[in-house]
Amino acid sequence: MGNASAQGLLLGRYDLASGLVDDIAARIRVPDIGNIDIFGSVRTRPSPDLALEVGALLRLGPLRALAVPEGTAAAARMKIGGTLGASLRVRRSGGSLSSKDGSRSPGPTSSWRPRERGSSE
C-alpha cells in the first residue's frame, strides 16, 4: 500500500429553519482499498430523524498488510484476494432505530454519482 491518505467528498443541502440536511451524498476513498458511500437525510428538529444508506466496495488484497508484521518474509505472508461489497440501511424515526442489510450491492465504484432527489434507488 502507498502512503496516500484517505479522501472524502460530502454533498448535501442544509435548511436552517427546519434543521434538515437533505440529499446527502458522501464518498470516502481509501487508496488501494476501495470506497465507502453514504446517501440519505438527517433532521435535527423538532426530534432527530435520519435515513441513511451506507455502501462499501473494498478490495481485500491490500488489507493483508494490516494483519502481517512488517519485515515478515513474503513466503510466510497470507494471501488474500477478491472484493467485499456491503450495503446497510439505517433509519431513525420517533425514537426507534431500525437497520436492514441492503437489497443491492453498492456496484462498481466507477459508476458512483450523487443520488437524484426523490429517487428510491
CB atoms within 10 A of CB 15: 10
For the cut 90, the answer to whether the pLDDT of residue 27 exceeds it is yes
What sign has the CA pseudo-torsion 37, 113, 81, 3? negative
User: Would you say the pTM of this structure is higher than 0.75?
Assistant: no
In a domain, 2, yes or no: no
Number of domains in the chain: 1
* 41-98: pLDDT as tens digits: 998 888 888 899 999 988 877 766 666 677 777 666 667 778 888 888 888 887 777 8
Domain assignment of residue 55, given as a range: 7-103
* 87-102: pLDDT as tens digits: 888 888 877 778 877 5
